[in-house]
Amino acid sequence: MQSKRGWLIAFEGIDGAGKTTQVDLLAAALRKDGRNVVATREPTDGPHGARIRGLSSRGTPISLEDELECFIEDRKEHVRERIAPALERGDVVITDRYYFSNVAYQGARGLSPAEILERNEALFPPPTAVVLLEMSARHGLGRVRARGEGLNRAYENEDFLARVAEIYAGIERPYLVRVEATGSAQEVHNAVVRALTPLLEAG
């Protein structure tokens, strides 16, 4: 039975950790279980998200502060247009990245992770659960390159991704669960389901 207010589940982790795959697998499993699921991502496909993607692909110079503002404006629209209405309907929202990505990535580039987290927590609904897919920077970068995908040049090096992983590792919230992500997609999915079992059984 769907709960009155929905769940917001965020997948986080460095590039190459398998977030998109795990969002898809969990969404399929929950739909099979009869739940209404909204699968989404950040940056979104809206105007602010498109600007972020454009800046990333072109390597356009932008200050860290302005970059963070782009993400926050995109998230405001995301919450207003997709997340909040779905939660009010009692749906399960599964997002490929949420504000913890800003904490880790913009934090690794020089902004204060604590201040980014504090600001976002004041602006946006808290997640029901965050699944942090943990993987070494070398492994994640290897996966990205094996898929033939490009990264923002500011992100495409092992040292940077190691800093991102270190910031992720330092985030402590009661709703955050950590899952080792170096196994097969199905093995990781099984571990995700085990980690989320208390939530799934409660719902």
Q: What is the pLDDT of residue 1?
A: 36
Question: From first to last of its 203 residues, what are the pLDDT tens digits of the chain?
Answer: 344 789 999 999 999 999 999 999 999 999 999 999 999 999 999 999 888 887 766 666 788 999 999 999 999 999 999 999 999 999 999 999 999 999 999 999 999 999 999 999 999 999 999 999 999 999 888 888 887 665 555 566 889 999 999 999 999 999 999 999 999 999 999 999 999 998 777 76
pLDDT at position 146 is 82
Q: What is the C-alpha to C-alpha distance for residues 183 and 76, in angstroms, rounded to an integer? A: 34
Q: Which CATH class is domain 7-202?
A: alpha beta
Element of type H or E holding 104: helix 99-108
* DSSP-assigned states of every residue in 135-195: --HHHHHHHHHHTT----TTT-SHHHHHHHHHHHHH---TTEEEEE--S-HHHHHHHHHHH
Position 154 scores a pLDDT of 58
Residue 155's pLDDT is 65
CA distance 175 to 138: 27
| pLDDT for res 5 | 83
Q: What is the identity of the amino acid at 120?
A: N
Q: How far is CA 93 from CA 41, 63, 160, in A?
A: 10, 31, 30
**DSSP per-residue codes, 7-37:** EEEEEE-STTS-HHHHHHHHHHHHHHTT--E
| 3-state secondary structure at position 102 | helix
Q: Are 43 and 99 in contact (CB under 8 A)?
A: no
Question: Tokens 């609904």, residue?
Answer: 125
What is the DSSP track for 43-93? S-SSHHHHHHHHHHHHT----HHHHHHHHHHHHHHHIIIIIHHHHHHTPEE
pTM recorded for the entire structure: 0.91
